[in-house]
């Protein structure tokens, strides 16, 4: 009621003053009645402060007034009309009325009216836009370690943004696409983005980051979670020498990539227990030969288990002679020489086959020409004293064979 009374008093005062000026000073009134107040639309981030300014180019002491979107008078000249501690006067004169609204909320958004109390009253509106700041994102879906092959859904949620915020996903440093959902909550928005995938061991210890971008933020809000994946053991055997030779120090290491880490590592040789010799030392994941010997040849296996399964790895050891120069490639195991021997054997077989074929063809060729020689010799042997003459007679005279005649007495 007190506010309404103040407004009525201010209004009556302004009207009376305007009437007086219209009747008493017509030249000045003509100059003021044609103009409108000048205002400007403003944008402010929720929680901060904003100044609302109304100006006129010239004025004959007519009052200016600011009203909020609910048409409640905030200030009439330098007189405060609304009891709101967040609203205060910055400057009041015949040509300007500036007020400040502190700790702005989303409900402060809307059309504000500046009125110039001439006859008739001139009004200009200014729109105050309030940006809702998104809350820092939260990621859900990491309730327990994921199992390899399991379908996992990660959800990133932020709320309180206006306009709606944008969410981006990153797998380590690479962006991945998720599905977005936007819901209005009063004047602001709740934004969710989900990322669904089937995990494997490569996702273990991978960082998934949710990034929230908004016009009210100078830098994005980010939340990161590291995914833990449990999977069966995967073992590999690494060796210390490229070419193991007699008398050398040699070590095999069973590299374990399971999660949880399986323990202990079991070593065996050729499907049975390791031989009990002093030159062989077993220390967890390592199998060491202090001095290699030809008797160490064989297949070595390491094996480990966890709750999700068992992993195995094998290494075929072939110990070379002490003075063996070694091939150009890495002959860590006997099995690695197999392809080289097979290649050499194949080349030798092809060469032998081609040689046999050439011998057969050459033999048949020689046999054919030998038969022809004997035939020619036989044909010309009747009138020739020797074999050469017989062949010449056979080749040169077989055309005239029909002209030969025999006479009997």
Mean pLDDT of 120-130: 95
Condensed to tens digits (0 to 9), the pLDDT of residues 16-49 reads 434 333 333 333 334 445 689 999 999 999 999 9
- The architecture (CATH level 2) of 235-336 comes to Sandwich (2.60)
Token pair belonging to 407: 């006479």
| pLDDT at position 33 | 52
Question: Helix (H, G, I), strand (E, B), or coil: what is residue 261?
Answer: coil
The beta strand positions in 280-401, using DSSP E, are 280-283, 286-289, 298-306, 309-317
On average, the pLDDT of the chain sits at 82
Domain range summary for the chain, segments of one domain joined by +: 2-131, 138-230, 235-336, 341-394
The full DSSP string for 180-243 is EEEEEETTEEEEEEEEEEE--GGGTTEEEEEEEE-TT-SS-EEEEEEE-EEB---EEEEES-SS
Model confidence at 281: pLDDT above 90: yes
Of 81, 63, 59, nearest to 72 (Cα)? 81
Of the candidate ranges 294-298, 314-318, 387-391, the one whose mean pLDDT is the lowest: 387-391
Instruction: Give the mean pLDDT of 108-127.
Output: 94
Say whether pLDDT at 297 is over 70: yes
Q: How far is CA 391 from CA 47, 207, 230, 365, 366, in A?
A: 126, 98, 95, 20, 18
Domains 138-230 and 235-336 share a fold: yes
> CA–CA separation, 225 vs 213, rounded Å?
18
CB atoms near residue 319 (< 10 Å): 22
Contact between 334 and 289 under an 8 Å Cβ cutoff? The reply is no
Fold of domain 2-131 = Immunoglobulin-like (2.60.40)
Identify the pLDDT of residue 263.
79
- Determine the Cα–Cα distance for residues 103 and 81; give it in Å rounded to an integer: 19
Helix and strand numbers (H, E) in the chain are 4, 26
Domain 138-230: CATH superfamily is: Immunoglobulins (2.60.40.10)
pLDDT tens for 232-247 read 999 999 998 889 999 9
Strand pairing class (64-67; 235-239): unpaired
Q: Tell me the whole-structure pTM to 2 decimals.
A: 0.62
**What would the DSSP string read from start to end of 6-47?**
HHHHHHHHHHHHHHHHHHH-HHHHHHHHT---B---EEEETT
In 309-355, the DSSP E strands lie at 309-317
How many other C-beta atoms can be found within 10 angstroms of the C-beta atom of residue 66? 27
User: Per-residue confidence at 262, pLDDT binned at 50, 70, 90?
Assistant: confident
């Amino acid at each position: 009621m007190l506010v309404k009374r103040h407004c009525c008093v201010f209004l009556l005062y302004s009207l009376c003053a305007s009437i007086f000026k219209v009747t008493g000073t017509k030249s000045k009134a003509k100059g003021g009645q044609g103009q409108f107040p000048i205002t400007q639309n403003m944008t402010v981030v929720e929680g901060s402060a904003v100044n609302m300014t109304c100006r006129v180019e010239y004025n004959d002491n007519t009052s200016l007034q600011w009203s909020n979107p609910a048409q409640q008078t905030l200030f009439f000249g330098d007189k405060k009309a609304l009891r709101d501690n967040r609203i205060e006067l910055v400057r009041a004169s015949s040509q300007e009325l500036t007020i400040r609204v502190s700790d702005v909320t989303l409900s402060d958004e809307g059309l504000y009216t500046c009125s110039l109390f001439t006859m008739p009253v001139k009004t200009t509106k200014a729109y105050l836009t309030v940006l809702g700041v998104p809350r820092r994102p939260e990621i859900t879906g990491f309730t327990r370690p994921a199992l390899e092959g399991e379908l996992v859904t990660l959800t990133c949620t932020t709320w309180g943004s206006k306009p709606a915020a944008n969410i981006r996903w990153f797998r380590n440093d690479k962006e991945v696409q998720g599905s977005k959902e936007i819901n209005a909550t009063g004047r602001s928005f709740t934004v969710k983005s989900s990322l669904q995938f089937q995990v494997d061991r490569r996702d273990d210890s991978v960082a998934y980051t949710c990034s929230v971008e908004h016009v009210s933020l100078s830098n994005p809000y980010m939340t990161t979670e590291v995914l833990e994946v449990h999977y069966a053991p995967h073992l590999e055997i690494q060796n210390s020498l490229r070419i193991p030779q007699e008398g050398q120090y040699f070590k095999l290491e069973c590299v374990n990539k399971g999660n949880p880490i399986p323990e202990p590592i079991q070593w065996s040789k050729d499907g049975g227990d390791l031989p009990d010799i002093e030159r062989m030392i077993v220390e967890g994941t390592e199998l060491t030969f202090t001095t290699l010997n030809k008797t160490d040849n064989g297949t070595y296996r390491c094996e480990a288990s966890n709750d999700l399964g068992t992993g195995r790895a094998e290494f075929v050891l072939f110990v070379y002679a002490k003075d063996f120069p070694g091939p150009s490639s890495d002959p860590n195991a006997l099995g690695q020489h197999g392809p080289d021997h097979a290649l050499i054997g194949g080349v030798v077989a092809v060469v032998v086959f081609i040689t046999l074929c050439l011998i057969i063809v050459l033999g048949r060729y020689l046999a054919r020409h030998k038969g022809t020689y004997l035939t020619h010799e036989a044909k010309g042997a009747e009138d020739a004293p020797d074999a050469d003459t017989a062949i010449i007679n056979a080749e040169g005279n077989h055309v005239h064979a029909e002209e030969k005649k025999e006479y009997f007495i």
